Amino acid sequence: MTHNTPLSPRPLRHLTEVHRRVLSTAQLRAHGVATAELNDQCRAGGPWRQLLPGVVLLHPGPATSEERLHAALLYAARESTPGVPSQPRADEPHRPVYAEAMITGLAALTLHGFSSAPPLTSQDRIDVLVPRLRRLRTTGYVRILRTPSLPTPRQVTGLPVAPVPRAVADAVAELADSGSVRRLLSEAVREGHCEPTSVVRELNRAKLLSRPHVVDAVDSLLAEGRAIAEDRLYRMVREYGLPDPVWNVDLRLPGGPHLGGLDAYWPEQAVAVELDTRAPRQDEDALWSEYTRKREHLERLGITVVHITPKKLRDSAEQQAAVVRTALMASGDRDPAAYVVVLPRQ
């Protein structure tokens, strides 16, 4: 039997091409390949090669990046039934479901299209995320990462891939260079893959915010994220025809205490917008309490405060503009607000 000999008794035509080149030993047995025959095909110099425990490459020569990714998932995924899953329609190639496994780390970021992540051909290792209780070990080019709760994967080129925030955290965990960390975090936000808070939340869960080079990169990320959110707020006001506010101001009572900074304020209507760009760190509850106290104080003075998150500005700017417009229109039905002093924010 050569590597071009069809397997029997079940043909492979229902599989996509890459899945005809990389199969598990369980799948090969389901296709009629006996253990002795498998060992013969995988002998030194033979037409097949064992890429990973229980995973076979069905052609001579090195594996492609695509084959390495599928092999890593075949190794790590939980099989619901032995062999190849149920056959699809004749005109529908089968794409195996890789249960309880997904690509993460730098390989995932490359698949997500990050220019700051190295190409797959130069990555010696592929990280695979699995549930904590799975009995798997790191082997060959596959590093097994465990988590108490798997995130919902994204499908990228037919592969289950960790969401960007989780993939970033898993990649950063292995990076000691602050420049590399900063580039990954910056691209995640700048290119619209996710919001800064979601990245920081994953870094916090991974206990990476105690590393100085990560903290420095996070500070830069949050500053960049706020700048992006402010730009979206400017565009929202302009594109949806809201009246011009005064931007980035501090409010004070005459001769009294500082009331807090605001991103936009309409003095005649006593309506304010505040961007909620809190970083989800250990002191999140205390910071939220501060937000709440400021909002309640301003509202007692008759000032309506609209909180908007960067994500809402990105995904539903028209809806947020309608909320602000409603608050402006309702100002005539409210009692006049207390007089406050408006100063440029320091």
pTM above 0.95, yes or no: no
Q: What is the structure's pLDDT at 94?
A: 46
Q: Which of 163, 20, 24, 37 is CA-nearest to residue 80?
A: 24
Q: Give the pLDDT confidence of 31-52 residue by residue, as tens digits.
A: 888 889 988 888 888 899 999 9
According to the model, what pLDDT value does residue 42 have? 87
Mean pLDDT of the chain: 86
Question: What is the side-by-side strand order in the sheet with 142-147?
Answer: 142-147, 126-131, 102-104, 159-161, 154-156
54 and 48 Cβ atoms separated by less than 8 Å: no
CATH class, range 241-344: alpha beta
Q: List the single range of 7-11, 170-174, 180-184, 239-243 with lowest mean pLDDT.
A: 7-11
Strands 55-57, 102-104: pairing is unpaired
**Start-end of H helices in the chain:** 17-21, 25-30, 35-41, 65-76, 105-111, 164-172, 178-190, 196-205, 212-239, 284-300, 310-315, 317-329
- 158-181 per-position pLDDT tens digit: 899 999 999 999 999 999 988 999
Q: Exposure pattern of 206-234 as b/e (b: 16+ CB <10 Å)? A: bebbebebbbebbeebbebbeebbbebbe
- Sign of the torsion angle spanned by Cα atoms 205, 211, 213, 215: positive
- Spatial CA neighbour of 243 closest among 266, 261, 260: 266
Please compute the mean of the pLDDT values over residues 144-163 and round it to a whole number.
Answer: 94
Q: Name the band, by pLDDT with cuts 50, 70 and 90, for residue 70.
A: very high
Instruction: Give domain limits for the chain.
Output: 17-76, 102-227, 241-344
